[in-house]
Amino acid sequence: MKPTFFTRRTLLRTGTVATPALLTFAAHAQTQLPDKALRIIVGFAANGGADQMVRAVAPFLERRLGRHITVENKPGNTGSAAGDSLKNGPADGSVIAFMPSTTLALSVASADVKFEPLVDFAPLTAVGTFETALAVTPKAGVRTLEEYIEWTRNEDAKRRRVGMALSDSLLQMYMRSIGREIGVTLDAVAYRGSAPLVADLQDNRIAAGAGGVTAFLEYHRGNRLRMLAVSGPRRLDLAKDVPTATELGHPTLLTEEWYGYFTSARVPLQIQQEWNRQIRAAIAVPEISAQIVRAGVQLENSTQEVAAARMAAHIKMWKDRMDSLGLKPTN
């Protein structure tokens, strides 16, 4: 996909910087970031939840830093291309990536992944948490998780097909976890992105799908699919009608993923700290934070230390889960 360049002329023409909060900053703030064009890598297709959150932040950063900002989409394999870009990219701080924790988990679940987050990445800030949701096609005629479980026990094998926009390795783990908890052997179907999964759910080409709430929220609110449960510890403010798996008696399905900004661990610490300062300033702008929240994310705006601790704990959680299921990294 052709990168999107945010320039001052473009922003003025589109009105992106017209809000009062954005106009309070000078166009050429002092910064230690490289005096060159900067890139933000997103390991998912344009117009998805991750892409939209980055594009809410990028125009503000460009204006504040006085630098060209390129948002570069590299979809495929649960965002692994973003991780590859950081590991193999420049060490001057000109490239950062916006990644979910599921991308980090590839290092545990897939033998083909070449990056090691705890070695190769420097977390800049945790942006917020998101939950996994189980959603069904409206044509299934089920409205609760228990109804879905009974519905899948029918002889029709198509009812047990569950789509996910994840790599095969993570897909296997998720389906094994869910199937073991509800007592049904589910048939995992891999999708290249959430958009085709949502389309198939709406058109009844697949019975159910599991994925980040950001992928399903808009369609659930429009009654074009139905979310049966979310995996986090609390109900979402934007979908209070959807219960948590714990409420429904399935606490082992509790999982809370998160989004963050990262750069290469080879980038000097002072540059990492500058990115943290600038990104946190962007997220603090009410107009920008509101867009992130609307994507179904529970907002955070953390220090590097908090983000690093979260990354280490999350990778340990994935390793423990793999071990508990008796799974090994797949090729």
Angle between helices 168-182 and 101-109 (to 10 degrees): 90
Boundary (domain end) residue, out of 223, 253, 283: 253
| SS3 assignment, position 35 | coil
- Based on the domain organization, do 25 and 124 belong to the same domain? yes
- Based on the domain organization, do 123 and 161 belong to the same domain? no
- The predicted pLDDT at position 63 comes to 95
- Based on the domain organization, do 57 and 103 belong to the same domain? yes
- Based on the domain organization, do 140 and 154 belong to the same domain? yes
Boundary (domain end) residue, out of 196, 223, 253: 253
- The predicted pLDDT at position 169 comes to 61
Angle at CA 129, nearest 5°, toward 195 and 103? 60
Sign of CA dihedral 188, 189, 191, 195: negative
Q: What is the CATH number of the domain that holds 242?
A: 3.40.190.10
Closest CA to 121 of 264, 313, 260: 264
- Based on the domain organization, do 174 and 320 belong to the same domain? no
Residue 158 lies in domain = 131-253
Share of the chain above pLDDT 90, in %: 54
CA distance 168 to 17: 41
Q: What is the CATH number of the domain that holds 90?
A: 3.40.190.150
Rounded mean pLDDT, 41-48: 88
Mean pLDDT, all residues of the chain = 86
- Based on the domain organization, do 205 and 278 belong to the same domain? no
Is this prediction's pTM over 0.95? Answer: no
What confidence tens digit (pLDDT) does each residue in 192-201 have? 778 889 999 9
Q: Which stretch of DSSP H or E encloses residue 286?
A: helix 286-294
- Based on the domain organization, do 126 and 217 belong to the same domain? no
Token pair belonging to 2: 């052709």
- The predicted pLDDT at position 275 comes to 98
